[in-house]
Structure 1
Amino acid sequence: MKENEVVILDRGDYTTCAVNLHGAVVTSWRINNKEQIFVSRKSSLFYLRYHFHIGEIRGGIGVAFPKLGTWEFGRRHGFARDLTWKIKTGPTYNRKEDVYAEFVLESDAYTESLWNYQFKLMNRVTLGKETLFIEFHVENRSNYLPFYFDFMLRFLMKISDISKCRIIGLKGCQFRDRLDKKKKYYNEDRSEITISNPVDRLYLNSSTTIYVKDGDFGKVTKLRRRNLPNLNLWNPWVDMARELPDLGDEEYRYFISPESCSEGVFLPPMSCWKASQLIDVTEPVDHQSTCSFYDIFDDYC
């Protein structure tokens, strides 16, 4: 298979999802033909057809494995996002008329040269009417050796304006500011988190459900995750965006990145670890509905 091959999930009514086999990254998710995912115009995605090998795709929904951050044995955030995955199943419809496909990545001589363990990753993407459900399995295929790994489900959510974005559900959570040289831990005291500067914060053991409001009366996106205890919130803002070669100078305004993650997971031989995230989109609500939204929301830390 070529690196630029894309698998399309089509549920009808102009609701579709595209998964690029390069990194098994979800590069498009449309509901009634409205795009929900941000991909930079300068991303490697647009150059895959001209090159044999390209690094990560700047945008979409993808995975970091087996290491988060800098890594002495390879590129930042591991190798899973840089490799070509294989399609295992689908696209196939289930009883609810949702459509899904499964993608796999298995250890080989190349991955073992960087990380000497036998593994299998499975990514199952299910497209619903207004939802996207992503399930991940990590298998340790060794008969004898356990291993530790990090995992992050990266998500660049498309929004109309970062200055009007609100993140709800992290009040009371402890976080570490990755941009703070003091490396201290803080408590989040805001009910609604707003973005007005570069942000790279790791919220520890945070609520399994958060909400992202796009604009004053825009859509609300609900994110529910399982077995991913931490949430990293990221946006590069002006200066950092200019330092990223695969991101336009002004593109930081049009996405927020809530990244679900788990670090230092121990996996015994011949065992499997599972995690998932459900993304549920509600289209624009009126002022009355926005007010009642707080009455039903009780999932703070």
Structure 2
Amino acid sequence: MNNSGAGSDYVGAVEVTKDKNGIGQVVLRNHRGASARVSLQGGQVLSWKWERGQELLFTSSKAIINPLKPLRGGIAICFPQFRSRGSLEHHGFARNKMWVIDQDPPPFPSGSSEKTYIDLLLKPSEDDLKIWPHSFELRLRVTLAEDGYLTMISRVRNVNSKPFSFSFAYHTYFSLSDISEVRVEGLETLDYLDNLYNQERFTEQGDALTFESEVDRVYVDCCSNVVAVLDHEKKRTIVIRKEGLPDVVVWNPWEKKSKTIVDLGDEEYKQMLCVDGAAIEKPITLKPGEEWTGLLDLSVVPST
């Protein structure tokens, strides 16, 4: 679970605790004061604080604490689908399931020296197989680096006897000062599917994405794999790097939609923005024995 790096001065800590519902949580800390908190329910990252103690992820004050439902906020794992389709629930079932700590994970693609991490594992239950009849192993490594960067690596392996396809997203709620003061860079000239217009395809015309009304888009085939969220008032920029995730979801419900969401405060849309690394437009197909890897790396830098 924890690797402090041989011969390194880096000291990280991994603590396994429980929330008030008795659900297991894992807290990662580094010696500079950065931390991350991960719930075994859904493998969901609930908190990410950098060394100044500031929370970088948004969680709604009206979030419903329910052992069977994901919390509104943090970083939720959307698998095996992102949109509502067929008998599968919206955003898939992985975010509602109890994961286990993976005590003997296979080697991960990136080295974990000088990092603190936890490995989680999800396998389908008999009920899952009734609604999505495919055997899989979904592994998640959450890493907090010495510099406070947060990295999530997901690996989906097909242990089925036939191919299957899936969609995936790291549904990430960022905490903001004010949505009207925020801009997103790295999406210029890209095509996007607009969920407010029946997934009609448009092309981004602006140099940066700013917000004056509801936004619900899937930007497709993001070549650079780097997106930045600039928060002018908080004087910080969150940099999103991704691998194996060609798409980016951008969502803010704005005023009218917020009032219809029971676990989101009426005015909380001003303090949040979802920017997700995802694979949605073209589902991933795995043959028996094949494995897919998707990486999300989040960093924060001071900005003027």
TM range (shorter): 0.7 to 0.9
> Residue type of the partner of 1:133?
T
C-alpha separation between the residues in 1 aligned to 2:140 and 2:113? 20
Q: Which residue of 2 aligns with 1:238?
A: 255
- Structure with more helix by fraction: 1
Q: What SS is found at the alignment partner of 2:269?
A: helix
C-alpha separation between the residues in 1 aligned to 2:173 and 2:150? 14
TM-score, reference length from structure 1: 0.87
Alignment of 1:34 onto 2:54: yes
> Residue type of the partner of 1:140?
N
The answer to whether the Cα contact below 8 Å between 1:71 and 1:77 also exists between their aligned partners in 2 is: no
C-alpha separation between the residues in 2 aligned to 1:26 and 1:86? 14
- Report deviation, 1:3: 5.8
Residue number among 12, 34, 42 corresponding to 1:15 in the alignment: 34
Q: Which residue of 2 aligns with 1:74?
A: 88
Gaps of 5+ in 1: 287-301
Q: What SS is found at the alignment partner of 1:262?
A: strand
* 1:147-186 correspondence runs (5 A): 147-181=164-198, 183-186=199-202
Q: What SS is found at the alignment partner of 2:259?
A: helix
* 1:56-75 correspondence runs (5 A): 56-75=70-89
- Report deviation, 1:217: 6.8
The answer to whether the Cα contact below 8 Å between 1:65 and 1:149 also exists between their aligned partners in 2 is: yes
- Report deviation, 1:12: 2.2
Once the two structures are superposed, residues 219-251 of structure 1 have per-residue CA deviations (whole angstroms, 9 ceiling, x without a partner) of 011111001001110000001111111111111
> Residue type of the partner of 1:43?
A
Residue number among 265, 272, 277 corresponding to 2:284 in the alignment: 265
- Report deviation, 1:89: 4.3
Q: Which residue of 1 aligns with 2:155?
A: 137
Q: Which residue of 2 aligns with 1:105?
A: 122
* 1:82-121 correspondence runs (5 A): 82-89=96-103, 94-96=112-114, 98-121=115-138
Once the two structures are superposed, residues 163-189 of structure 1 have per-residue CA deviations (whole angstroms, 9 ceiling, x without a partner) of 1001001111011111014x4311111
Q: What SS is found at the alignment partner of 2:189?
A: coil
> Residue type of the partner of 1:117?
H
Moved more, 67-76 or 20-29: 67-76
Change (3 A) 1:235 1:150: same
Moved segments of 4+, more than 6 Å: none
Change (3 A) 1:216 1:189: farther
C-alpha separation between the residues in 1 aligned to 2:159 and 2:41? 23
Q: Which residue of 2 aligns with 1:291?
A: none
Q: What SS is found at the alignment partner of 1:170?
A: coil
